[in-house]
Amino acid sequence: MTVVDHPLIQHKLTLIREASTSTSQFRQLMREVGPILLYEATRDLPLTQRRIRTPVATVQAPVLAGKKLCLVPVLRAGLGLVDGMLAFAPNARVGHIGLYRDPQTLEAVEYYFKMPAALERRPVIVVDPMLATGHSAAAALTRVKQAGARNVKLICLLAAPEGVAHVRNEHRDVDIYLASIDEKLNGHAYIVPGLGDAGDRFFGTKKAGNRTRKPGKGTAARNRLRR
Ligand code: URA
């Protein structure tokens, strides 16, 4: 696991956390931190040598080898980080995965899954900004592996210790990249101190009208998975 402690990302993360940060600032900051996390997670991408001609000389120079990277945002909050990542890695392919938790069984249920071809030959990076219980991230990792992915990493922004433990337990082979492991989960499965609901803050969907039901046991955790 890599906690990316670069001062630029730590500064931006503090701004992202602040409740007073507006939707547009939140979006912009998510765009800015995405590439910093991706930079760390792609350090080991394979290179090959290509013979090129500069205006001055001919030289063997490194270029990326193999099939293009595939980013897999977990809907919907994962989309917030992917925008900026694509500015940094414009040739990356993007798969999408949508999961919700079945209210009866509490199992993660897939409602959307679309991946590029030849997943087994691509470096695959699942992007789930908030690693809270870790159940949705673990389910997404299982699913991309079932679809053939062999070389899989996970990028988050924030995690609770519980989420890290769950993913490490279920997917020992998956390296996790994140900017902070926070203190804990609260009773509503929010990361503390966290940043609130990442999907709502990115998409501007937090309205009083969205909170018509008093949360019962498990309701908040189910809603987290629908973000
Ligand atoms: N998902 C979020 O968006 N925020 C949390 O704190 C936990 C899960």
- Residue of the CA atom closest to atom 5 of ligand 1: 190
**Closest Cα to residue 50, out of 64, 29, 39, 35?**
64
pLDDT of residue 106: 60
Distance (angstroms) between ligand 1 centre and the Cα of 202 equals: 12
pLDDT exceeds cutoff 80 at 219: no
Max CA separation in the chain (angstroms): 70
For β-strands 175-178 and 158-159, DSSP reports them as unpaired
Please give the average per-residue pLDDT across 159-188, as a whole number.
97
Q: Evaluate whether the domain defined by 2-44+69-206+216-226 bears CATH number 3.40.50.2020.
A: yes
Of 95 and 105, more confident? 95
Mean pLDDT across 115-137: 96
Sheet holding 130-131, edge to edge: 130-131, 158-159, 180-181
pLDDT of residue 206: 80
Q: How confident is the model at residue 170 (pLDDT cuts 50, 70, 90)?
A: very high
pLDDT tens sequence across 17-32: 999 999 999 999 999 9
Two tokens, residue 58 = 């001919």
| Per-residue pLDDT at 210 exceeds 60 | no
Q: Is 198 in the pocket of ligand 1 (CB under 6 A)?
A: yes
pLDDT digit string, tens, across residues 177-186: 999 999 999 9
Give the residue, out of 100, 164, 195, with the most ligand 1 atoms within 8 A of its beta carbon, to mutate for a pocket test. 195
The mean per-residue pLDDT over the stretch 197-208 comes to: 89
Break the chain into its structural domains and give their ranges. 2-44+69-206+216-226
Tell me the pLDDT tens digit for each residue of 40-55. Answer: 999 999 999 999 999 9
The 3-state DSSP class for residue 157 equals coil
Task: Round the average pLDDT of the chain to a whole number and report it.
Answer: 91
Tell me, what's the pLDDT at 71? 98
Could you identify the atom of ligand 1 that is nearest to the CA of residue 197? 3
Contacts of 7 (CB under 8 A, 6+ apart): none
Chain centroid offset of residue 127 CA: 2
211: which residues sit within 8 A by CB, 6+ positions away? none
Q: Do the Cβ atoms of 198 and 77 come closer than 8 Å?
A: yes
Residue nearest to atom 7 of ligand 1 (CA): 190
- Cβ of 77 closer than 6 Å to ligand 1, yes or no, is yes
Q: Determine the atom of ligand 1 nearest the C-alpha atom of 190.
A: 6
The pLDDT, as a whole number, for residue 198 is: 96
The pLDDT-based confidence of 223 (bands split at 50, 70, 90) is very low
Sheet arrangement for strand 2-3 = 2-3, 175-178, 151-155, 123-127, 70-73, 93-94
Contact 156, 140 (CB under 8 A): no
CB neighbour list of residue 73: distance below 8 Å, 6 or more residues apart: 79, 81, 82, 94, 96, 97, 127, 128
- From the CA of 199, give the closest atom in ligand 1: 3
State pTM to two decimals.
0.90
pLDDT at 43: 97
